[in-house]
Amino acid sequence: MCGRFVLTLPDDEMARLFGAAPANDLPPVPNFNICPTNRVHAVVSDGAQRRLTAMRWGFLPHWYKTLTDGPLLINARAETIAEKPAFRAACRERRCILPATGFYEWTKDDAGNRLPWYIRPADGAPIAFAAVWQLWERGEERLVTCAIVTTGANDAMSAIHHRMPVTLAPDDYALWLGEDGKGAATLMSSAPEDRFVFHRVDAKVNSNRAHGADLIQPLVA
C-alpha cells in the first residue's frame, strides 16, 4: 500500500516535468510527511491541456453522505479497480498522477513496534503515482478527492510490504491520463526490481504531526 509520502519538488518544476498549467491554490512544498486527508498535488488532463491542481487524498464515493460515511479510501487495488463500485467509473474516466519524491512503508519488530522505512527512486528522479479521482458534493460542500493505485510488490519491495504503489514512466503519462486512447490497464504493474532503494528512518514519522527534512534521514543506530 502507500499510506504516507514525501514531495519536495517546487510547483514550477512539477509544472515543467508534467507539461501542466499550475493552479493558484496548490499545497505548500516541501512536505516530508504527506498524510491521508491532506491536500496533494495532482496532474489531470482534459485531452487538450494538463493541469497541476490540488485534491484531497482519500477518495470519497459519490454515495457517501458525509466525509466519514465509510472507510477512508486512500488506495485502490489494481487487480480489482475496474470492478469495485467505488472506483470503476473513475478508473475509466478520471485518472490522474500524483507527483512524489519518495514514500514510507512499515515493518514490525518482534514486539510489534512499527518500524518506518523511506523508499525513493534509485536514480533520484521524481515519482509519478498512478491515481484516480472523484468529485464529491453534498450541499455547498465540494471536494475533489483521490486514491493511489497499488499492486503487488516486486521481490525487492516485498521484504518491507506485500503491496506497492503503481508508478508511471514519463512515456506513460499520456496513456494514463487518457490522452493516448485506451490501454491504461497495461500500466498497472509492479516497478522494476532496481527502481527503488530504501532505508530505515526514525519512528517519529509515525506521527502525522511530524515534519521536516530529518524525517527521511537514515536511522543512526
Look up the CATH number of the domain holding residue 68.
Answer: 3.90.1680.10
Which member of 91, 96, 105, 146 is catalytic? Answer: 105
- CA pair distance 41, 97, nearest whole angstrom: 9
Q: Is residue 161 part of a domain?
A: yes
Q: Is residue 138 part of a domain?
A: yes
Q: Is residue 77 part of a domain?
A: yes
> What is the DSSP secondary structure assignment for residue 16, as one 8-state letter?
H
Question: Among residues of the chain, what percentage have pLDDT more than 90?
Answer: 95
The reply to whether 146 belongs to the active site is no
Q: Is residue 199 part of a domain?
A: no
Quote the domain boundaries for residue 73. Answer: 4-103+126-192
Residue with cell 506513460: 172
The reply to whether 105 belongs to the active site is yes
Q: Is residue 220 part of a domain?
A: no
Per-residue pLDDT tens for 121-164? 999 999 999 999 999 999 889 999 999 999 999 999 999 999 99
Band (221; pLDDT cuts 50, 70, 90): low
Q: Tell me, what's the pLDDT at 2?
A: 83
pLDDT at 1 over 80: no
Task: Locate 53 and state its grid cell.
Answer: 491542481
- CA pair distance 211, 207, nearest whole angstrom: 9
Question: Among residues of the chain, what percentage have pLDDT more than 70?
Answer: 99
Q: Is residue 22 part of a domain?
A: yes
Q: Is residue 121 part of a domain?
A: no
Q: Give the chain's mean pLDDT.
A: 96
Residue 161 to residues 14, 34, 105, 133, Cα–Cα distance (Å): 28, 19, 7, 25
Which member of 2, 91, 96, 146 is catalytic? Answer: 2
Q: Which amino acid is at 157?
A: M
CB atoms within 10 A of CB 147: 29
Q: Is residue 213 part of a domain?
A: no
Q: Tell me, what's the pLDDT at 220?
A: 79
Per-residue pLDDT tens for 20-71? 999 999 999 999 999 999 999 999 999 999 999 999 999 999 999 999 999 9
Q: Tell me, what's the pLDDT at 24?
A: 95
How many contiguous H segments (helices) and E segments (strands) does the chain have? 3, 13
How many structural domains are present in the chain?
1
